[in-house]
């Protein structure tokens, strides 16, 4: 009996061959240098920032080389899968505007894109491995394997199904046939040719050359339920999806010698590997992995609720992905991260530190560069979800709101008031009559706190100097005249040189007007604010005091 007979005995219904698969999934017709990359999550729950970063990297590399970005769902471990897991992942990726070329919903020519739907492919490859004597069925029970482990522990030997412990390696065709006819449970194992005392050398695009012991364990390729564990599945998938670079978590690196043995055994050319270090976080004096459980900022929803723009987060990912990005972006603030040339060898070899403050900073800068209309549109999207009342207010006063958002904006050094959409209301609420009337007002008076003096300043201003049609220069001249009339220095220098001669300076005067109109001691340009508020509202607010 030949290996072919054994293969037919184990997989009687598999008629297709590797050659058929090679034809079904031909080499991709892509430009030179194009990378085919994939993100291959398990559908086990909501994505977190670590996953989003892990998907940013392959997406960026695929896009910048005019390649292909694939979403593949690795659901072979069904116990951990959750019901709408796939949709949750796609929603997050789409929300971040990742360009996905092939995925389980929209499909593609290299699917299916869900591992549990690719069983036939795995079995075709498995049957091939049996036929070339690189795989065999193992009928050992859980108890047999537990005994083996116990013996190995007692003898202080490596744990695993290898060497003389791999007893099903030598089963004859007839013995196998008897087991199968009995209906005994079996798994398919690799017949490893590795030598643990030899080294396998390989290149990792992030870490450089790596040397690890060869694999010599007859690992399970197909479990008794017909489903492969991760290792065998990903080799079949990445080969027939024509993936050129595998990006994945650093924790897989110790298994690479085993994976390479599989690539070789199948007769496939292995792709390039880039193992990504997990995001770390500073916790007091220690550095640890960013944790979904411990760190609120690990959740994607955290940014969503705050209204931190996804573009800002992607700029942050770009910053931690390549050490030379930040400098480039400072030189090219008007460009997108898509214009930067990323490379794997500029990735941190020690694990990037996840830094919320940095994200906030990037977000502040990013928001300051948007047009008022863009800020308005995004603010409305955010408010529709998280602050309905504010959403109706800014809808009602659309142009007015855009004008507010435009104060000190489209200029060389724009204001950087807010880092996220949820902060905007707290900066501009006083511009709305409705909110000014209803919010608790805490007037932030500064040097001048005396009620009579405040009244005096405001009344003199409104009766003698204020004129809604003044341009900014005239407005300012009048502020000076008002100061002089009331015994305040018209400029700060005069006041500094001769403090006894004055009650204060123009700064104190304009502060009173600012606080009276907004309650705030710090606001954007007062002239612009007054222009937008208009005469009636200004008079009303002054009369309140």
Contact residues for ligand GLU, defined by CB under 6 A: 40-42, 74, 234, 246, 248-249
Q: Is 221 in the site for Zn ion (CB under 5 A)?
A: no
Beta bridge partners of 39: 71
| Smallest distance from ligand GLU to CB 229, Å | 11
Is residue 93 within 8 A of residue 100, CB to CB? The reply is yes
Residue with smaller CB distance to ligand GLU, 195 or 249: 249
| Smallest distance from Zn ion to CB 184, Å | 11
Residue with smaller CB distance to ligand GLU, 127 or 234: 234
Residue with smaller CB distance to ligand GLU, 249 or 459: 249
| Smallest distance from ligand GLU to CB 237, Å | 9
Which of ligand GLU, Zn ion, none binds 40 (CB below 5-8 Å, type-dependent)? ligand GLU
Which of ligand GLU, Zn ion, none binds 138 (CB below 5-8 Å, type-dependent)? Zn ion
Which of Zn ion, ligand GLU, none binds 140 (CB below 5-8 Å, type-dependent)? Zn ion
CA gap 258, 273 in Å, rounded: 14
In degrees to the nearest 10, what's the CA dihedral of 338, 344, 349, 350? 30
Residue 196 region, left (φ>0) first, then alpha (ψ -120 to 50), else beta?
alpha
Judged by CB under 5 A, which of 125, 168, 529, 538 binds Zn ion?
168
| Smallest distance from ligand GLU to CB 72, Å | 8
**Most distant CA atoms of the chain, gap in Å:** 114
Is residue 290 within 8 A of residue 302, CB to CB? The reply is no
Phi, psi of 283 (to 5 degrees): -125, 100
Which of Zn ion, ligand GLU, none binds 234 (CB below 5-8 Å, type-dependent)? ligand GLU
| Smallest distance from ligand GLU to CB 241, Å | 11
Residue with smaller CB distance to ligand GLU, 228 or 504: 228
Which H, E and C letters describe 267-310, residue by residue? CCCCCEEEEECCCEEEECCEEEECCCCCCHHHEHHHHHHHCCCH
* Residue 430 vs residues 202, 392, 393, 424, 520: alpha-carbon distances, Å: 63, 16, 13, 11, 9
Residue with smaller CB distance to ligand GLU, 89 or 533: 89
Exposure string of 453-474, with b = 16+ CB inside 10 Å and e = fewer, is: ebeebbebbbeebbeeebeeee
Task: Give the pairing of strands 68-71 and 36-39.
Answer: parallel
Which of ligand GLU, Zn ion, none binds 74 (CB below 5-8 Å, type-dependent)? ligand GLU
| Smallest distance from Zn ion to CB 169, Å | 8
Is residue 133 within 8 A of residue 191, CB to CB? The reply is yes
Residue with smaller CB distance to ligand GLU, 156 or 269: 269
**Segment 124 to 163, residues that bind Zn ion, using CB under 5 A:** 138, 140
Residues at the interface with Zn ion (CB under 5 A): 138, 140, 168
């Amino acid at each position: 009996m030949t290996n072919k007979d054994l293969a037919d005995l184990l997989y009687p219904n598999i008629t297709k061959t590797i050659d058929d698969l090679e034809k079904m999934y031909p080499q991709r017709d892509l430009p030179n240098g194009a990378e085919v990359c994939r993100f291959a999550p398990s559908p086990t729950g909501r994505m977190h920032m670590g996953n989003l970063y892990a998907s940013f990297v392959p997406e960026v590399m695929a896009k910048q080389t005019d390649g292909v970005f694939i979403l593949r769902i690795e659901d072979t471990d069904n116990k951990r899968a959750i019901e709408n897991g796939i949709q949750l992942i796609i929603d997050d990726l789409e929300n971040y505007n990742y360009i996905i070329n092939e995925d389980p919903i929209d499909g593609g020519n290299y699917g299916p894109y869900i591992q549990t739907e690719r069983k036939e492919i795995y079995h075709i490859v498995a049957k091939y491995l049996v036929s070339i004597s690189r795989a065999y069925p193992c009928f050992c029970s859980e108890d047999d394997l537990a005994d083996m482990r116990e013996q190995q522990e007692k003898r202080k030997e490596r744990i695993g199904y290898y060497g003389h412990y791999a007893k099903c390696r030598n089963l004859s065709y007839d013995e196998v046939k008897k087991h199968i006819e009995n209906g005994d449970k079996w798994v398919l194992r690799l017949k490893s040719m590795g030598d643990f005392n030899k080294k396998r050398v390989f290149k990792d695009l992030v870490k450089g050359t790596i040397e690890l012991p060869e694999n010599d364990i007859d690992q399970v390729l197909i479990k008794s339920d017909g489903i492969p564990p991760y290792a065998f599945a990903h080799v079949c998938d990445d080969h027939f999806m024509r993936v050129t670079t595998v990006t994945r978590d650093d924790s897989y690196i110790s298994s690479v010698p085993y994976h390479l043995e599989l690539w070789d055994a199948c007769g496939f050319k292995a792709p390039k590997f880039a193992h990504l270090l997990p995001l770390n976080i500073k916790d007091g004096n220690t550095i640890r992995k960013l944790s979904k459980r411990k760190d609120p900022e690990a959740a994607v929803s955290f940014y969503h609720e705050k209204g931190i723009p996804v573009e800002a987060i992607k700029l942050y990912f770009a910053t931690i992905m390549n050490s030379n990005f930040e400098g480039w972006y400072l030189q090219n603030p008007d460009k997108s991260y898509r214009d930067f040339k990323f490379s794997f060898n500029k990735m941190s070899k020690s694990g990037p530190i996840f830094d919320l403050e940095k994200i906030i900073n990037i977000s502040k800068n990013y928001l300051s560069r948007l047009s008022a209309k863009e800020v308005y549109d995004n603010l409305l999207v955010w408010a529709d979800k998280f602050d309905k009342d504010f959403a109706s207010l800014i809808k009602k006063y659309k142009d007015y709101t855009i004008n507010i958002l435009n104060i000190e904006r489209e200029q060389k050094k724009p204001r950087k008031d807010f880092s996220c959409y949820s902060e905007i209301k707290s900066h501009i609420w006083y511009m709305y009559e409705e909110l000014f009337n209803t919010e608790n007002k805490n007037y932030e008076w500064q040097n001048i706190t005396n009620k009579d003096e405040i009244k005096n300043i405001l009344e003199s201003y409104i009766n003698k100097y204020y004129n809604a049609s003044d341009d900014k220069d005239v407005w300012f001249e009048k502020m000076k005249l008002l100061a002089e009339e009331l015994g305040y220095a018209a400029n700060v220098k005069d006041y500094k040189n001769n403090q006894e001669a004055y009650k204060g300076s123009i700064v104190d005067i304009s502060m009173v007007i600012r606080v009276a109109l907004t309650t705030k001691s710090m606001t954007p340009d007062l002239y612009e604010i007054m222009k937008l508020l208009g005469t009636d509202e200004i008079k009303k607010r002054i009369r309140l005091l």
